[in-house]
Structure 1
Amino acid sequence: MQRFSGSFPWQHSFARRRDVQIIVLAAAILASMVLVQRLPAWRLIDHRSFDYLTTVQPPALPERGPIIVAIDEPSLAEINLQWPWPRTLHARLVTALRAAGAHVIGLDIIFSEPSTAEADKTFASVLGPDVVLAGDESLISSPQADQLIRTMPLSMFTDAGAVAGIASVSLHEDGVLRAIPNRDESFAGAILRTAARPVPPSEGELLLQSYGGPRTYPTVSYYQALEPEAFLPNGLFRDRIVIVGLSLQNAPSISSGGADAFATPATIRNGRLTAGAEVQATFVDNLRTGDGIAKAGPGYSGVFLLSAIAFASLLVWRGTNWLTWFGAAIAITLAVLGSLVVLRATGIFMSPASPAVSLAAVVLAQSSIDYAAERRSRRQITKAFSQYLSPELVERLAKDPERLKLGGETRELTILFCDVRGFSAIAEDLKDDPAHLTQLVNRLLTPLSNVILKHGGTIDKYIGDCIMAFWNAPLPDPNHARHAVSAALEMLKAVTDLNSELRSEAEGVGPTFPELRVGIGINTGTCVVGNMGSDSRFDYSALGDAVNLAARLETASKDYGVPILLGEATVLQLLDAFEIRELESTTVRGRNEVSRVFTLASTSP
């Protein structure tokens, strides 16, 4: 029979390697994340993180921010002129807004080409230092070189006192507008300087803080602004920045697109594009109030990433289970919330994507390693113990290998020895037929072994025709004495059944064998149980005086003429579960002290 031999080396080596393994794993994930962060696809993940975080409870719209004069559908219908509208109409608008008290008038319209001389002259005549005109800048790429094309208002307009600013914007790789343009030359920067407001220096990329979706800013139609006294509340434009531009009343969706309309961080929430005039108003307020968002430097981001990986390593240091994933989920949530808190408190964006993914990667990788090791451990335990533990006990042990304490432990056991009476005579009768003798032994030991396993016992070893078994190891069994005695009774019945089978088989067709009989000794006591043997080979076995006494009781059962002999320690644990008869105390062979011995009344002669 295959036996469990040796300790479980994979468990010991795995324990020794675990610390180093986790450190190497953490370092590998850190290096991988540093490389992955350079990929364009990963930048899109950071961009999406920015969109979601900056639109969670965004700041309220700043007070007395810009007002939008929209070139919208009602204006196109009311004015009923083909676009582009004549510049004399724009001259009327500037005059009306200035008369209504507008502090700065920003026209997000490109006036780079001359129209009629009279119209241009009329428009120039109303311009002044309180008017900001839009310019455009575009990059044209070719195989030979990249060329920057700048389109600015006609010089006659700037000579008339108007200020020019670049209104073009840069989109990220996914087509979303997040970056505030260069403040030195931008349209929004020019508006703020014209309003005598400070403009932050252009040091590093500044990102857009959205205040909401389309039409967040107060908006009036172009035709209304031409006659504010007729259509609008008195004093609406007084001391306000006014931005004029295309702003469709029904903001277009991403799929439909739209003229001078952009996807912004708010688009991820509402799926709508924001008009260019409103985007410029957001730029103005971001710069005016300091709501613009700076990206965290590599140092801060690196510390954030290292902290997440270090925390993940601590989570998996001792092992992984569902609590590990629960802790990882909490940590990821805290990373996201921490990023949001830093964003709102400091105006700095630290993407939680890399720390969150790295943390999850450490936990997932180590959990996978631990799962594979556990599966391997279960297979080895099942293979090692399946032939001398019941399937139920093997399954419990495989599910919880920690219950198997390798290397030896002190535990109270109930030990059973079972030996065949008169086996030498049987062996002599079959000396010329060893195969038949082996078959007979196996036919006897198989049902006896099955009975032991059925009652939760552990088969320690086979010694010829003798079986040694014990209860209460490797898994605890609080009723080990009772189970051992119950097994002994059923073993006697199994021998009786086998004798009946052998007699039936032998009637008229074969040799007659003497009736098989067994003697069983059972004793309870403290033993050392675990791996016993040399450095190269071990057996899971039990040692101790209680084992020796159980063996002596089995031998003495023949002298007493009873099939089962019990030690005193075993009887004390049976709690009247069986009818016990005490026999005459004696000194069993191999021991000097007198021992009280007992048998089961039901098996007495």
Structure 2
Amino acid sequence: MARTAPTLQVHKNIWLQPLYWTLAVVAVLSLLKTTPQWTRINGLAFDQISTFKPARPLEPGVIIVAIDEPSFGEINQQWPWPRETHARLLHALREAGVRAIGFDIVFANTSRLGPQDDITLSNAAQTDTVFAADLSLVETPQASSLIRTEPLAIFLENGAKSGLANVQPDTDGVVRRLPDPQDSFMYALLNTANETPKKLPEGKKLIQFFGPPNSYPRISYYQALNPKEFLPPDMLKDKVVIVGYSLQASADVSTSDAFETPYTLKTGNFTAGVEVQATIYDNFKNKLHIKNPPRWFEYLLLAIGCLMGALIGQIKKLIPKFSLGAVSVITVIGFAWVSLKFGRLWLSPWDLNAGLLGVMSALSVRDFAIERKMRKEIQGAFSQYLSPDMVAKIVANPSLLNLGGEKRNLTIMFADIRGFTGISERFKDDPQGLTNLINNILTPLADIVMANGGTIDKFIGDCIMAFWNAPLDDPNHAQNALKAAQEMMNAIADINDKLTTHNTVLEGLTIRIGIGLNSGDCVVGNMGSQNRFDYSVLGDAVNVASRLESMTKIYKTGIIFGQDTYKSLHNTETVTEVDTIQVRGRNEPLKIYTLDKGISL
């Protein structure tokens, strides 16, 4: 069982260095965090958590006046509608008591019906009116630039205002970012409605969406043109309305105004731009927007997750490890929801959980690789010295194995071939034949030892040294050792028949063995130099076993065992006391025994 010490030292270093693995995972995840895929996963996490029982205003801040299919049917005109129609809408809404009106339409071009049509709308647009402006990226061969498109100046002459209505989707096409309130369409509408909050959000914020598409109260454009006929009394009194497109199938490409939102993943539907604007209005008004932590804080969350993964990864048992890991992942998700719901702060669970799962997975792979290598080494080290069943037990549960020096009560066996000098003389011109002979004798004897739970310590020329009760526990080690000795004695007859049948050199020669056994406390473990060692035993009981084997010649018997082995037997009916002897180096005399059928052949 000789092995080299450096292998164990490498194992020791790997087991004591999970920090290096953790730092490696942190480095890899930090690089991955810069990729679009990471941003996409973070966005999906936000979509799921922000739409689960979201915070909502006590009541919607606006009513949507929808330019929809029924309105196209009722008005029965092609788009763009006459400006006079929008002027009539303004008068009707004002008469119904509306406080502020926002047009999510950019009136940047003159009317196709002539200047008077524009003048009619200009006269109707008063201080309660806000028009949308647009900021577009225009690319030319020379450069790219942002061009702001305002409504015609004539529409702002009587106190109406304008504001940028742009929303900027993330790289995955989903609208999540709150626009800068300064100079924004909804901020201008808040001012017009006298609902501007005392403190506006600063920095990058996220939009809290309150429901799937069509969550806001809405009326059709044609209904708003005649509220007395189509709407309940006072429905619009003191309300804020936003006029915009809400079409299932857009009447014209230019009117397409729908976006992916966090609810799109759940419903599969886009949200009309006018409803996105209504949501932004309530985010500003009710301070329901979601704060986004700075970039460095995201890396801190990643590092904390890696630390959690490193701590959990030290648990060696799989079920507790992965159970705690699963609980931690769920807890992180729950904490992210609580933080968003009640603190209005987005702490991405993906950053934490990616670190946690990344380090846990890395350490688990490391542990698996180490354990697999250890199992292979155990199998390689013990397969020639233990039975396959015992090797399988150790491989399945390496914790059963204690390769360090320890004190154990063992039963030791020495089995020696009798008359080996004479046998060697017959093979003096055939060393290969002598080697084959020894192997043919010792192999079946060693197999018997291992079949009875014994460990082959070493082969000393023509002698087998073995022991029981290490590396695995064997409470019946004395009984099993004696059983192996008896089977070895019985096997010698078959060995002789096979050898003499196929080897004329052995004609007239009978192979005999002597077996000595003794039980007692020994030190068992890895013994040798720093570079090479054996799993072996030392102790007085070992020396006595060797002496007892040599005494089989004196007492003309095949098996002799000491009194400590005798005391450990369950059944002594077939045991015969041979003598009481004095062993050199021991003060107390030693009783020795043999089996009734232990006479050497």
Give the TM-score, by structure 1 length. Answer: 0.92
User: Which SS does the other structure have where 1:301 is aligned?
Assistant: helix
Aligned residue in 2 for 1:82: 78
Contact 2:518 2:544 in 1 (8 A): yes
Which of residues 564, 567, 571 is equivalent to 2:562?
A: 567
Per-residue displacement from partner, 1:81-132 (whole Å, max 9, x unpaired)? 1111112221221122112111111121222222233322322232211111
Aligned residue in 2 for 1:163: 161
Aligned residue in 2 for 1:427: 424
Q: CA deviation at 1:322?
A: 4.8
Which of residues 263, 266, 272 is equivalent to 1:266?
A: 263
Aligned residue in 1 for 2:352: 355
Q: CA deviation at 1:259?
A: 1.1
Contact 2:449 2:484 in 1 (8 A): yes
Structure 1 residue 342 and structure 2 residue 358: aligned? no
Aligned residue in 1 for 2:128: 130
Contact 1:62 1:285 in 2 (8 A): no
Aligned residue in 1 for 2:553: 558
Look up the equivalent residue of 2:268 and give its one-letter code: G
Matches within 5 A, 1:390-409: 390-409=387-406
Aligned residue in 1 for 2:89: 93
Distance 1:298 1:156 in 2: 44
Distance change >3 Å, CA 449–CA 511, structure 1 → 2 = closer
Q: CA deviation at 1:194?
A: 0.6
Contact 2:426 2:505 in 1 (8 A): no
Distance change >3 Å, CA 119–CA 511, structure 1 → 2 = closer
Greater mean alpha carbon deviation, residues 167-176 or residues 523-532: 167-176
Look up the equivalent residue of 1:95 and give its one-letter code: H
Per-residue displacement from partner, 1:175-217 (whole Å, max 9, x unpaired)? 2212222211111111100111124436212211111111100
Aligned residue in 1 for 2:223: 224
Which of residues 462, 468, 491 is equivalent to 1:471?
A: 468
Distance change >3 Å, CA 450–CA 84, structure 1 → 2 = same
Per-residue displacement from partner, 1:375-415 (whole Å, max 9, x unpaired)? 22222222222211112222322333333323311011111
User: Which SS does the other structure have where 2:30 is aligned?
Assistant: helix
User: Which SS does the other structure have where 1:569 is aligned?
Assistant: helix
Per-residue displacement from partner, 1:219-262 (whole Å, max 9, x unpaired)? 111111122222222211111111111112x489xxx9981111
Distance 2:527 2:595 in 1: 33
Q: CA deviation at 1:61?
A: 4.9
Q: CA deviation at 1:429?
A: 3.9
Aligned residue in 2 for 1:516: 511
Contact 1:418 1:520 in 2 (8 A): yes
Distance 2:261 2:30 in 1: 28
Aligned residue in 1 for 2:524: 529
Look up the equivalent residue of 2:86 and give its one-letter code: H
Q: CA deviation at 1:543?
A: 0.8
Distance 1:512 1:79 in 2: 122
Aligned residue in 2 for 1:580: 575
Look up the equivalent residue of 2:211 and give its one-letter code: G
Q: CA deviation at 1:432?
A: 4.0
Structure 1 residue 34 and structure 2 residue 33: aligned? no
Matches within 5 A, 1:184-223: 184-199=182-197, 200-201=199-200, 203-223=202-222
Contact 2:134 2:150 in 1 (8 A): yes
Distance 1:598 1:278 in 2: 99
Distance change >3 Å, CA 436–CA 30, structure 1 → 2 = closer
Contact 2:30 2:299 in 1 (8 A): no
Distance 1:35 1:437 in 2: 66
Distance change >3 Å, CA 385–CA 247, structure 1 → 2 = same
Per-residue displacement from partner, 1:150-194 (whole Å, max 9, x unpaired)? 222222221122121222222221222122222111111111001
Distance 1:232 1:551 in 2: 111
Aligned residue in 1 for 2:538: 543
Distance change >3 Å, CA 492–CA 136, structure 1 → 2 = same
Per-residue displacement from partner, 1:9-32 (whole Å, max 9, x unpaired)? 32333323544x322332233233
Aligned residue in 1 for 2:106: 110
Distance change >3 Å, CA 141–CA 62, structure 1 → 2 = farther
Look up the equivalent residue of 1:93 and give its one-letter code: L
Per-residue displacement from partner, 1:456-475 (whole Å, max 9, x unpaired)? 11111112211110011111
Distance 1:159 1:202 in 2: 30
Q: CA deviation at 1:147?
A: 2.1
User: Which SS does the other structure have where 1:373 is aligned?
Assistant: helix
Look up the equivalent residue of 1:142 and give its one-letter code: T
Distance change >3 Å, CA 251–CA 388, structure 1 → 2 = farther
CA RMSD of aligned residues (A): 2.4
Q: CA deviation at 1:497?
A: 0.7
Look up the equivalent residue of 1:89 and give its one-letter code: T
Distance change >3 Å, CA 258–CA 84, structure 1 → 2 = closer
Distance 1:458 1:479 in 2: 14
User: Which SS does the other structure have where 2:177 is aligned?
Assistant: coil
Distance 1:480 1:500 in 2: 31
Structure 1 residue 149 and structure 2 residue 147: aligned? yes
Greater mean alpha carbon deviation, residues 361-370 or residues 586-595: 586-595
Distance 2:249 2:239 in 1: 24
Contact 2:245 2:255 in 1 (8 A): no
Aligned residue in 1 for 2:245: 246
Distance change >3 Å, CA 578–CA 117, structure 1 → 2 = farther
Distance change >3 Å, CA 572–CA 258, structure 1 → 2 = farther
Greater mean alpha carbon deviation, residues 271-280 or residues 560-569: 560-569
Greater mean alpha carbon deviation, residues 320-329 or residues 349-358: 320-329
Greater mean alpha carbon deviation, residues 514-523 or residues 346-355: 346-355
Look up the equivalent residue of 2:145 and give its one-letter code: Q
Structure 1 residue 140 and structure 2 residue 117: aligned? no
Distance 1:168 1:99 in 2: 30
User: Which SS does the other structure have where 1:148 is aligned?
Assistant: strand
Contact 2:302 2:354 in 1 (8 A): no
Greater mean alpha carbon deviation, residues 548-557 or residues 595-604: 595-604
Aligned residue in 1 for 2:295: 298
Q: CA deviation at 1:511?
A: 5.0
Distance change >3 Å, CA 258–CA 325, structure 1 → 2 = farther
Aligned residue in 2 for 1:283: 280
Structure 2: stretches of 5+ with no match in the other structure: none
User: Which SS does the other structure have where 2:590 is aligned?
Assistant: coil
Distance 1:169 1:439 in 2: 88
Contact 1:139 1:149 in 2 (8 A): yes
User: Which SS does the other structure have where 1:603 is aligned?
Assistant: coil
Contact 2:478 2:519 in 1 (8 A): yes
Distance 1:423 1:589 in 2: 25
Distance change >3 Å, CA 511–CA 490, structure 1 → 2 = closer
Greater mean alpha carbon deviation, residues 351-360 or residues 474-483: 351-360
Look up the equivalent residue of 2:52 and give its one-letter code: V
User: Which SS does the other structure have where 1:109 is aligned?
Assistant: coil
Look up the equivalent residue of 1:228 and give its one-letter code: P
Contact 1:137 1:149 in 2 (8 A): yes
Contact 2:161 2:188 in 1 (8 A): yes
Contact 2:304 2:355 in 1 (8 A): no
Contact 1:251 1:272 in 2 (8 A): no
User: Which SS does the other structure have where 1:120 is aligned?
Assistant: helix
Greater mean alpha carbon deviation, residues 588-597 or residues 540-549: 588-597
Structure 1: stretches of 5+ with no match in the other structure: none
Which of residues 165, 171, 174 is equivalent to 1:173?
A: 171
Distance 2:404 2:306 in 1: 36
Distance 1:18 1:588 in 2: 47
Aligned residue in 2 for 1:120: 118
Contact 1:105 1:132 in 2 (8 A): yes
Look up the equivalent residue of 1:211 and give its one-letter code: F
Q: CA deviation at 1:574?
A: 1.8
Contact 1:580 1:600 in 2 (8 A): yes
Look up the equivalent residue of 2:56 and give its one-letter code: A
Look up the equivalent residue of 1:545 and give its one-letter code: D
